[in-house]
Structure 1
């Protein structure tokens, strides 16, 4: 049974006040709050297990290694990877995307093409631009319509033997739009031999992920958006691809043998995990998976979709509200502006005085803002612990902002 008060009781931070008001935290697309169970696991590592992993024969090192590898197996199951060694620990989505773009350098040449979309976060734009600079490849961008929906007829036109990478997000961080990943992958497989990269930063927290069914080559996401500590993330890659491609960083842990005559590399996953990892964070990421599984992914999805529907309906009852992507299939995010009234940051500051945390600005998606000819939006984004009462407070705050800024 889904009990919102029981869920909220697991997040101590939700009891605090901001500016003398109860905290209403609606900035989950930037980072989620962490349940006490995750914080306890993180703290327990540093107070009871603190040791480096994979390198020591002493008890603490062995125990820390066991816990981190258990977390890897939890994540393998969470995304339904075929093997646990296809799960690579990273610092987050941005590092994962940069890693992929770097190791694919040798696979591209002048005039090859990389396809992304207008809905991408800067972290799924800039690494590919850098790859184009290194190789002479060209970037092609799937456009959107006035609802923020990808125009996939352009993907049909773009795909060719020149296409070497297709990289798109599953959910837009700025608008919450759920992209038709299955269709994109099917079109790509039919018309090219491109590597398929999926940015799952905004999908992994909200609904079930099955990388085998999806048939992507790479899938990346961040821990801190799904109730885990910052500085954690996952790169999934198919075994045969990761084994073929070169390492990203060089150093300890990623070698099999090292001499001044040359170095051979360790097997997966260690080939891509150079140096001391974020052991405590990686273990806590497994605890975050436990929290999600215990709560129920379908429960999370149902509750967040109900919050989104309610928030959009209540906001649209106000005058002069523009919701971006209103008619698109969305999850977890309502992104809006008060038409003819101030700027998004003005609205955000007024809401903050009422204890309501939202995100304002371009959300690291300047191409989207340019498309809509705006500087930014007010973005309210939801997690499993948010309530309908908090939506009501948001709406009252928006009404106040309208009066103050008109």
Structure 2
């Protein structure tokens, strides 16, 4: 009994337990539940195979890992838009005789596990065990952590950015340069680390080593740019190839407005341009008003009733708004939450979060923005601190996450767009 209690208190064990339990839900949903469901109109039938872990961007990584890079022209979709480290590592694992699907799943899952472990120790060092547990649980159970299991770069990117931020706090500048460069070789949003580290170095009056290591973070993208220049005579080929997915950069006001209308008045009304079905906006208004009343009278309600009330209202809003609601909540709610947490989490993590959101809001469309927001580890740190103070809220939120994570896993296995 004593050994069991000691094991439960073990930091490494908790991170592994969060990873394993959340991955089990995803795997069961994808391999056991999804194949029993009817084929969706715009998707495919899920099967009990490794193929359920490969869809959308996974196909591009398979092309790169198997055949290498290609670049057609700056207006068409091209593999060069995807950064090299993930497919390179998958290729190395494939050289051991494993097929692409197995290699990709293995790499992403192990990297995601390592990211959870690094996050746990980073938060525990600064804020204690309770905050570390909630931060780890948030990152593991957030529904978009599905992308830490399927063949995507989320696991690798979270590992490198978290390790770089932790190393910066510990003033381990060689590690900052190493992990930061790996992050920018994995995905372009890793570049947000550079202004974050430079600003924190200036604000905290760190030495020259801090500035040099901050700039060294860009080595990943610099080396990839050099490769593009040598192979395609275009150092910015990965930038030009983005036109295959979006016509221009900048804030997509029309796209965000449409997502808001989908949430507030419903798809049918938003597509028609006027209110045909009043039920959706009535239910949405009722939910918002009820939430305001719950908050106003919160002192007169027990904590259990308050949590249950907000839980049910959030569930209703999700059923009404679907993906657009989650998208708006995670991006704009994330920005607001980061601002509220700015004095509680490390300065570099705060600036990194805001720089990342600035990139997200200026990519030219609203596709995948919720997945990119999930990749900002600063939010998990802040959420861990919040839920450590209000654990009852945490249990309610994690139960809601468990519902979403299973739903998202099924959708991905059916080749339905997720993020």
With normalisation by structure 1, the TM-score equals 0.26
Query: Which structure: greater helix fraction?
Result: 2
With normalisation by structure 2, the TM-score equals 0.25
Query: Which structure: greater strand fraction?
Result: 1
